[in-house]
Amino acid sequence: MALVGAQPVSFSGYIWATLVGGVLSWAAAVVLAKVGDRGVAAGVAAASAAGVAIATVMIVIRWVDGGWPLW
């Protein structure tokens, strides 16, 4: 999640990249839980949840300050 968040240069780009990365890592965690290692799946899910939670807090803070930040 840190590498995904380091790529974009704008706030909305960071949020979109983090949300897309979170969805992709969630899908990887589901696949790992079904066919692979459940411990790794739990770690991937936890890291993904932390990244998306941070992005969500940033969205709410920017939204409260005035304006929808995703466009």
Kindly give, in sequence order, each residue whose CB lies less than 8 Å from that of residue 26, ignoring residues fewer than 6 positions away: 45, 48
Where do the domains of the chain lie?
Answer: 7-66
pTM equals 0.77
Supply the pLDDT for residue 34.
94
Distances in whole angstroms, Cα of residue 2 to Cα of each of 21, 38, 48, 61: 10, 22, 10, 20
Mean pLDDT, rounded, of the chain:
86
> For 28-41, how does the pLDDT look when each residue is reduced to its tens digit (9 = 90+)?
999 999 998 899 99
Supply the pLDDT for residue 2.
66
For residue 44, pLDDT beyond 70: yes
